[in-house]
Structure 1
Amino acid sequence: MKYGKQRITDWTKNFWNHLDLLAVVLLFFAAILRFTIPERDFDVARWLYSLSFIVYVLRFTQVFYVIEQLGPKIIMIKKMMADLGLFCVILLMTVLMFGVVSQTIIEPESKLNYDLITSVVYRPYFHMYGELFLEDYQGYRSLLLALYMILTNVLLLNLLIAMFSYTFEKVQERSEILWKYNYYAIVCEHVDRPYIPLVGTFIQICRPSPGFRITLGADHNSKITKFVKGRVEKHLADERRKTYQDMAYKVTNTAQRFEMMMEQLGDLKDDAIRKIPPFLRDTFGLDDLRELRPGTSYPKLQKTIKHEKAHSFLFGYSGQ
């Protein structure tokens, strides 16, 4: 008994099962009315047949979940329908507001009846689709129509587009994950789906599970939790190791660059020594010049440079 209640609960939680039940009920009543009501009232049966067909077509869209390109699009449509429902609440308030005001201005002496109620909604609703009824809005009334068109066709319409765009981007970012999840859900649903409608559904609810686990017990959940925790720890350890390796690589690369820079500085120093005038080479020697350091006083060198400047001034020695 407990197992049957659990199966019934699982069955009622599925949205597609609700569509199945609705389609079957509509078809059942349509078939009854087809053979019981007079021919002049047969439109009711036609309506039920039509609604049943629409529900069956909507139910068939679940098949597209297994297609990677179409599955996320079906999810987008479902979420956009929810956005559209919220938008319709705002739109209904705007339509009723303008409908009551316009009806009061255009037909101030109209009586309360069914035609009055329909006209309150009829006129502003078709304004959104371009049917403006300009003959009813002359003079200052056109300002009211202009304000309403700005609110609905500009502000509210762009709001709806923005809501749809946000939903599309949010689903598109996780399209692959959503597709895999719904693919798995379809596999779980059809693994023991009965071949016979209605009667097979009751048999499915009452019979034991065929072995494919849809719900897990405490032991299996504990094992899966340990497995996931271990994989997460391994992933974090790999990421830390990669970080340390990157730091070691950066340190090694910096040391190599420093060595290359020192070699280049040594080459520049050798080039500078080769460009020193010959009299300095002869006076100090090449080894002494290699020991020169900036900021250090060398009296012998300063004396030689002054002597060379005086000699050049007296005898025109250019030092070449």
Structure 2
Amino acid sequence: MLSGYLELQVGSLEQAMLDALVLDRVDFVKLLIENGVSMHRFLTISRLEELYNTGNLPPDYRISLIDIGLVIEYLMGGAYRCNYTRKRFRTLYHNLFGPKRDDIPLRRGRKTTKKREEEVDIDLDDPEINHFPFPFHELMVWAVLMKRQKMALFFWQHGEEAMAKALVACKLCKAMAHEASENDMVDDISQELNHNSRDFGQLAVELLDQSYKQDEQLAMKLLTYELKNWSNATCLQLAVAAKHRDFIAHTCSQMLLTDMWMGRLRMRKNSGLKVILGILLPPSILSLEFKNKDDMPYMTQAQEIHLQEKEPEEPEKPTKEKDEEDMELTAMLGRNNGESSRKKDEEEVQSRHRLIPVGRKIYEFYNAPIVKFWFYTLAYIGYLMLFNYIVLVKMERWPSTQEWIVISYIFTLGIEKMREILMSEPGKLLQKVKVWLQEYWNVTDLIAILLFSVGMILRLQDQPFRSDGRVIYCVNIIYWYIRLLDIFGVNKYLGPYVMMIGKMMIDMMYFVIIMLVVLMSFGVARQAILFPNEEPSWKLAKNIFYMPYWMIYGEVFADQIDRKQVYDSHTPKSAPCGQNETREDGKTIQLPPCKTGAWIVPAIMACYLLVANILLVNLLIAVFNNTFFEVKSISNQVWKFQRYQLIMTFHERPVLPPPLIIFSHMTMIFQHVCCRWRKHESDPDERDYGLKLFITDDELKKVHDFEEQCIEEYFREKDDRFNSSNDERIRVTSESLQLPQQRNQPK
């Protein structure tokens, strides 16, 4: 069949490729590619859009690539920006397929639109303008969205950036599975998508492991270099977006994060104590060891720019002198492996560390994320101590010095939260706020800051508002103590327990709903029987829950179970009821009758305690045990995943903690104004502060070649394992034995 197609024109082959893609014929697509069909030439904007419109769509309904881009951004979440929704692509799309396409004099030639200071140049006469630079990327995303797993796996094997493609596919499948379960679709769809997500996630981990075995440095570059086709993200960021714990917990990822956490500090043991000593006693910074620039091949852009601006460049040495030094160094390292050689190597390393200027050491010390973490933690503990003081002592008419420090801490913390929003990745302000609010601690911080602000305003007023403000202070400090749990996340042992608490809180919310039904059923019946003459009041709502709630914890109010002394709001608390009572002086007093049906209360109380105390409480304990063992089994991965979030948080924060952080903010504003004043139109508007490695085109080609080699080696080893398996050997042996028998059979 293929030989017949080869005699046809190229257009017919491309039509055959389109039919094979629509019909999900993976083998036929593979055959066409192996025999010379160029996917770069085949895949155009119109063809890709046609592929997306081959599904079961309503009549007269057509999906555009811009719509697909919005869907991808929704599924990827966060600050992800699809190429289909960017200014350049939208301009090109509307020029090619818009309603004014026939207006040739206006549309031909170069189309130029302005966005801020950047120009979008589109040459419609360029034959490559209608094609994609990475066609296998687009086809793999199409196959994933169309739920064609075999086709998606086939396109994953071809083209560049296989690790990034696997992580993107993992995230897309996981997001679609979540949407399917939320929309109450068939369970098989959600399970199938989750299975597809696990397959791509496993491929990403295995590819990372394969690349790490071949070359550690290039493997780390795979994790950190900027992916132009994937929203300028990195593989590490894509793995976090997909919540791929195994990928983040891999040795390669953790080594990279450790280097990022330590900055240029060279520490192994007791790093926390050394950092605290450096913060409290700055002269001790000079005794610490630092890494040279050659020891940090994975610098972020901000650090690299700073070193280029700050470091005095060493004078260029002649080539002959360099060769002589290299020969001397080689001879020194190659003499022997004895003790004397190791001592010389150590002395050489120490001499290099001494070359780092004192000012550079101080700068690098305070900019290391681990130092920022301990600096912020010490400042936070000091803030809590002052907050304790102002709520425990008498509140004066005017705030004391300690209270002003606490107020300034909260005020500058609020400014820092605003800075985090403004400097986040999304372009639009509304999107920045949405992404920022997705973090749990950000929402609670916002509520706590607003609550403290209300308390501060009331506190500055006269009585009785001042007392109300003090009460708000007392309630507000509860949250700031709970906020310490986030700091515990850096600890290898406490971090998983913090996650357990969060999961158990979610489990408890479902339990509270069930408990509320049981509690109200008993509370309403008890209140109605024992107190039939109550007037309308909000106290009734409190009385319904008050005693039944405390009964859950074992306070059964035993002296009131047998209601011989029934009282309500119209009778004294100890007024007896029932039969006549004979007093000590011999007089008989006629008592009022007891409440009708009061004997029912102890009976329903017994049933309530049986269900609430025995059944539901033990059910909650069983759920907690299940959550504990579930998190305990993956505690190491959980801690390593949380560690990434912590490292990135403190990597992007200013050096000084609140309230001194205001000086860092002023410095940032000053630098921003100066940069905008000196900046040319061709300069970028923003500087990336994330963990990204910006490499040249030659280095990028080297990384892509290395990744392709890793894929080839991965599939080679996989085939070897399959061929050496017992099942495959048995199958091959069985076929080899059956072949002679078939030949000997008479025809």
TM-score tier after normalising by the smaller chain length = 0.5 to 0.7
The code of the aligned residue for 2:454 comes to F
**What residue in structure 2 maps to residue 17 of structure 1?**
442
The code of the aligned residue for 1:119 comes to N
**Cα distance in 2 for residues equivalent to 1:101 and 1:68:** 50
Which residue of 561, 579, 604 maps to 1:137?
A: 561
**What residue in structure 1 maps to residue 141 of structure 2?**
none
- Once the two structures are overlaid, the 10-residue window that deviates more, 148-157 or 122-131, is 122-131
The code of the aligned residue for 1:42 comes to R
CA deviation string 1:142-189 (max 9, x = no partner)? 221110100100011011111111111221122111111110011111
- Once the two structures are overlaid, the 10-residue window that deviates more, 232-241 or 86-95, is 232-241
1:101 equivalent in alignment to 2:525: yes
1:212 equivalent in alignment to 2:690: yes
**What residue in structure 1 maps to residue 637 of structure 2?**
177
| 1:122-271 correspondence runs (5 A) | 122-138=546-562, 139-194=599-654, 195=656, 208-213=686-691, 238=717, 241-242=720-721, 245=724, 247=726
**Cα distance in 2 for residues equivalent to 1:242 and 1:213:** 37
1:44 equivalent in alignment to 2:522: no
Ranges in structure 2 where 5+ consecutive residues have no aligned partner: 1-115, 117-425, 563-598, 673-684, 693-701, 731-747
* 1:29 shift after superposition: 2.5
RMSD: 3.8
Q: 1:125 to 1:57 in 2, by over 3 A?
A: same
CA deviation string 1:188-245 (max 9, x = no partner)? 11211134659678979x994444248xxxxxxxx99999998687557546645655
**Cα distance in 1 for residues equivalent to 2:616 and 2:452:** 38
**Cα distance in 1 for residues equivalent to 2:525 and 2:705:** 65
User: For 2:483, what is the secondary structure of its paired residue?
Assistant: helix
**Cα distance in 2 for residues equivalent to 1:158 and 1:143:** 22
1:65 equivalent in alignment to 2:65: no
Contact (CA 8 Å) 1:87, 1:160: kept in 2 or not? yes
Contact (CA 8 Å) 1:64, 1:71: kept in 2 or not? yes
Which residue of 510, 513, 518 maps to 1:86?
A: 510
**What residue in structure 1 maps to residue 320 of structure 2?**
none
Contact (CA 8 Å) 2:460, 2:466: kept in 1 or not? no
The code of the aligned residue for 2:524 comes to V
User: For 1:125, what is the secondary structure of its paired residue?
Assistant: helix
User: For 1:191, what is the secondary structure of its paired residue?
Assistant: helix
Q: 1:124 to 1:9 in 2, by over 3 A?
A: closer
* 1:32 shift after superposition: 2.2
CA deviation string 1:18-43 (max 9, x = no partner)? 233233223322222222232x4433
1:32 equivalent in alignment to 2:510: no
**Cα distance in 2 for residues equivalent to 1:201 and 1:85:** 40
TM-score, scaled relative to structure 2: 0.29
**What residue in structure 1 maps to residue 77 of structure 2?**
none
User: For 2:427, what is the secondary structure of its paired residue?
Assistant: helix
* 1:113 shift after superposition: 1.8
CA deviation string 1:92-124 (max 9, x = no partner)? 111111011111222233333233222111121
**Cα distance in 2 for residues equivalent to 1:101 and 1:86:** 24
**Cα distance in 2 for residues equivalent to 1:228 and 1:151:** 60
User: For 2:652, what is the secondary structure of its paired residue?
Assistant: coil
Q: 1:120 to 1:23 in 2, by over 3 A?
A: closer
Q: 1:166 to 1:140 in 2, by over 3 A?
A: same
* 1:51 shift after superposition: 2.9
User: For 1:36, what is the secondary structure of its paired residue?
Assistant: coil
Which residue of 501, 516, 522 maps to 1:77?
A: 501
**Cα distance in 1 for residues equivalent to 2:633 and 2:704:** 27
User: For 2:690, what is the secondary structure of its paired residue?
Assistant: coil
Contact (CA 8 Å) 2:511, 2:620: kept in 1 or not? yes
- Once the two structures are overlaid, the 10-residue window that deviates more, 192-201 or 158-167, is 192-201
Contact (CA 8 Å) 2:458, 2:465: kept in 1 or not? no
Q: 1:135 to 1:244 in 2, by over 3 A?
A: same
The code of the aligned residue for 1:96 comes to M
**What residue in structure 1 maps to residue 480 of structure 2?**
56
Ranges in structure 1 where 5+ consecutive residues have no aligned partner: 215-222, 252-320
**Cα distance in 2 for residues equivalent to 1:201 and 1:15:** 24
**What residue in structure 2 maps to residue 302 of structure 1?**
none
CA deviation string 1:240-274 (max 9, x = no partner)? 645655649x99xxxxxxxxxxxxxxxxxxxxxxx
Identity of aligned residues (%): 28
**Cα distance in 2 for residues equivalent to 1:56 and 1:144:** 42
The code of the aligned residue for 2:440 comes to F
**Cα distance in 2 for residues equivalent to 1:29 and 1:91:** 34
- Once the two structures are overlaid, the 10-residue window that deviates more, 176-185 or 134-143, is 134-143
* 1:9 shift after superposition: 3.9
Contact (CA 8 Å) 2:455, 2:473: kept in 1 or not? yes
* 1:75 shift after superposition: 0.3
Contact (CA 8 Å) 1:19, 1:59: kept in 2 or not? no
